[in-house]
Structure 1
């Protein structure tokens, strides 16, 4: 009996389903991006990007806490656009949200339903024991037939469950059609190591229609940790729909500098447009290639900075670029600390988990370092007028006991309600105590509502720290 269950478990690990339809008509990528990045009610002087890291429910709660805190900041409309004197939440100024793994649950829900996030997301997801529910579905005999006959795997069961409890069968067509920010859900192309992003541009490369893709499919791919889940796969129809590479790709190949990031991105572009060589795209947890969710918007910024695409997308008036990086990373997991006290080499399963955590943490540092250096050079060249790099992480907490508490929070998809609430509170506090964020609020003439409960300080006391 146990052997049979293990066989089913392995079958569930290998099965794949490809739901993506071929693109029948060319999509105007500039029009889609214009609508999402530059709507009439959002500032054309502020380009606001959020990145949400991986880390299970811990990361999802941290992302929620930062969004809730941004929603409590009021910015005068006169400071961000022309028109009548009024105010609006700073959260409404977010143009782009890039997310990985646990952070993708929060970004996708906000991308679909916006302010509804604050009404029911905690009950629908953050307070729910998602992990136990997924395990029960895998072991439920009623689902074994799917493993054996329909090509379903563990990740497909997870996607169905996420639709049931959270996404209500919504597709990217629903998300792209509303007035919310551009949401970039990241996964890892496990074959070539690329960061694959669920955006119109990536799907134009593989000649598939993103509008028909379930949001749950993307979130599942983004959070399919190798070993625990089987990943998700897409057909690649690249080269069959007439979509051509943009000008920056040809420019990059003409310069022929392998050390230039644009050259590497151009190679990726070419690979996806060649379906004869690359017939499938196999996707796993986005954290494998970038656990901060920072690389895709950073790469977009590099591309835009080298061309006139800023003007094409209606971003030519940009005066301030804001990056809020929500980093749920911990310095060292409990398991790694435990393994450090063992005299013997860890067994394969534990070694794999430990290695993945180490790779992700190391990659986070490299990504942040490269990003920081790029911003520094951009400011020196004057290509970006004013930059606000706002990095939020548990390591910013000054109290060692509090920092240790949050760094010991599990990355599982199940946390006690009390822990979730603490994560939400500390995330807002980290934002409100960040000097770059306070500089942004001051420059925009904003005010922070309910700041006393979050930080114990008033607006004047908070802004005094900038003097």
Structure 2
């Protein structure tokens, strides 16, 4: 007998259909000058509507998992985490990726390469992204042409790579606002269907997780992890071909055990947690859910191979009210599966890689792993400039609607960084330990790294200048979180990417350099990376990268910053 939809689901579908019809009426009213609040309110109702239904069943089997199950013992895991931040994050990532393609690093032992350096991009095996960062992550995963070591020679980038990155930059600042919102008065009225369709039309072209799996299995793409949040349970939700139990590790308990372990007993901590790797504690709040295991309200799974990647990208970026939460129907369930922006739980994308890589380091004691964090999340505005003139609660909320969540996010982020710092300091300095945490490097690149005495940008689309270092840093810090950046903000992202790569290039190289002696880094108390290892073109180690930075950002040459 065919399964009948529940009363709850039928009512929800009818409400969504009615709301869509009414929304068209609201659009007409808004164009005629009717209440903007009415338009916004009804548009927001659409965010929970969906046209995608899952059928419960065994999770999809992905071929790429075979390759991931047994990586060469001598090869490090290298991952890139791309934060949330709208087009600011996506565009920053596209420029950083291009420059890191020209960064030579020592080929890892067992990589099947000659003694010649290889491109950093050719070492990247995992990309974890959140929200706007998922635009860049999905584009690179599905469009990447590979073999980036070809970018290490010659005075110019080979034509195929130049075209790939030009398209990458263009797409990462596509005007999603125009595509989705249509007209300014209903800016908060975007819906998940519209965003997913726009992403699919622009660059994913019907690609599914099955298509991603083929690229991952062939080595054409790194493993992609799109992070969302399960709105019903509050858990991180990983949309990936990697089984969710591969992320099962209580990182907080591991770090605390390292800190409190008696001197000389640190190895027993690693042994203890390694023995627990096969026992995934799904009750642990830090254990993420995925399509292969989630609670709704019972533990279940759904096949995900046919799920369009565009829908997963939209889900990762389903910011509250603007796009999400997104409600998925699960056949036979009374409850809908609600997913929302991954930045609600972790806006960096690091947490998924941290769990995945620490598990690897527990299993393979000879490994050293690296996470490069592209952190373009908007720095918290501690000056309150956006609400400085607001006298009423409503006006303060309207002028800075995300401030409450921003306060929660920055506090949680600082606590995570502090715990990591204390643990790594204790293990490396106080105990001289070779604990699992001492074999993982995290290097952060940020747009607000930009620190030059002045800056003048003169392009066909933008003519602006910043007279002093404070003006430059303020401008870089205040690039808005939007689904489209104006010309000057986009140019500032480009320059910020050049500066950040320039600052951190040698730090990345040192990870691969056997002569570095395995030095490690942490965060200082401001949340910034310590021991950044400024790039120094005089020693020639960065090869063609220095000239590529100068070609991409002549503004930094003009003001003698390089």
Question: Fold conserved (TM > 0.5)?
Answer: yes
Alignment match of 1:155 (pick from 192, 217, 223): 192
After superposition, give the CA deviation of every residue in 1:317-357 in whole Å (9 maximum; x if it has no partner): 75321111111133344994131343443444446422123
Alignment match of 2:387 (pick from 331, 339, 352): 339
Matching residue of 1:88: 118
1:370 aligns with 2:422: no
After superposition, give the CA deviation of every residue in 1:363-420 in whole Å (9 maximum; x if it has no partner): 3323333344455567634336643321122443334332211111111011134432
Matching residue of 2:100: 70
Matching residue of 2:463: none
**Aligned residues of 2:204 and 2:310 also touching (Cα < 8 A):** yes
Q: Distance in 2 between matches of 1:381 and 1:81?
A: 24
Alignment match of 2:351 (pick from 282, 295, 302): 295
Q: Distance in 2 between matches of 1:60 and 1:25?
A: 30
Unmatched tracts of structure 1, length 5 or more: 141-146, 148-152, 238-274, 311-315, 457-467
Q: Distance in 2 between matches of 1:183 and 1:444?
A: 31
Q: Distance in 2 between matches of 1:210 and 1:335?
A: 44
Alignment match of 1:183 (pick from 213, 224, 233): 224
After superposition, give the CA deviation of every residue in 1:247-302 in whole Å (9 maximum; x if it has no partner): xxxxxxxxxxxxxxxxxxxxxxxxxxxx98x9443111111111111111222234
Matching residue of 1:449: 544
Structure 1 residues 129 and 107, CA gap change in structure 2 (3 angstroms): same
Q: Distance in 2 between matches of 1:410 and 1:436?
A: 29
1:16 aligns with 2:17: no
Alignment match of 2:165 (pick from 113, 118, 131): 118
Task: Tell me the secondary structure at the aligned position of residue 290 of structure 1.
Answer: coil
**Aligned residues of 1:236 and 1:280 also touching (Cα < 8 A):** yes
Q: Distance in 1 between matches of 2:355 and 2:443?
A: 18
Alignment match of 1:412 (pick from 445, 466, 482): 482
Corresponding pairs, count: 394
Matching residue of 2:445: 392
Matching residue of 1:224: 318
Q: Distance in 2 between matches of 1:389 and 1:92?
A: 18
Q: Distance in 1 between matches of 2:447 and 2:483?
A: 19
Q: Distance in 2 between matches of 1:304 and 1:321?
A: 9
Q: Distance in 1 between matches of 2:70 and 2:311?
A: 27
1:203 aligns with 2:291: yes
Alignment match of 1:423 (pick from 489, 493, 496): 493
Residue correspondence of structure 1 range 241-390 to structure 2 within 5 A = 279-304=335-360, 310=363, 316=364, 319-333=367-381, 336-347=384-395, 348-350=397-399, 352-376=401-425, 380-383=433-436, 386-390=439-443
Task: Tell me the secondary structure at the aligned position of residue 318 of structure 2.
Answer: coil
Q: Which has the higher helix share?
A: 1
Task: Tell me the secondary structure at the aligned position of residue 197 of structure 1.
Answer: strand
- Whose RCO is larger (CA < 8 A, sep 6+)? 1
Alignment match of 2:201 (pick from 164, 169, 172): 164
**Aligned residues of 1:71 and 1:91 also touching (Cα < 8 A):** yes
Unmatched tracts of structure 2, length 5 or more: 1-28, 146-160, 244-289, 294-299, 453-469, 517-540, 552-562
Matching residue of 2:233: 192
Matching residue of 1:108: 138
Task: Tell me the secondary structure at the aligned position of residue 479 of structure 2.
Answer: coil
**Aligned residues of 2:59 and 2:302 also touching (Cα < 8 A):** no
**Aligned residues of 1:98 and 1:294 also touching (Cα < 8 A):** yes
1:32 aligns with 2:64: yes
After superposition, give the CA deviation of every residue in 1:100-141 in whole Å (9 maximum; x if it has no partner): 011110001111121375241222332x2221221118999x
Q: Distance in 1 between matches of 2:314 and 2:379?
A: 25
Structure 1 residues 384 and 408, CA gap change in structure 2 (3 angstroms): closer
TM-score under structure 1 length normalisation = 0.73
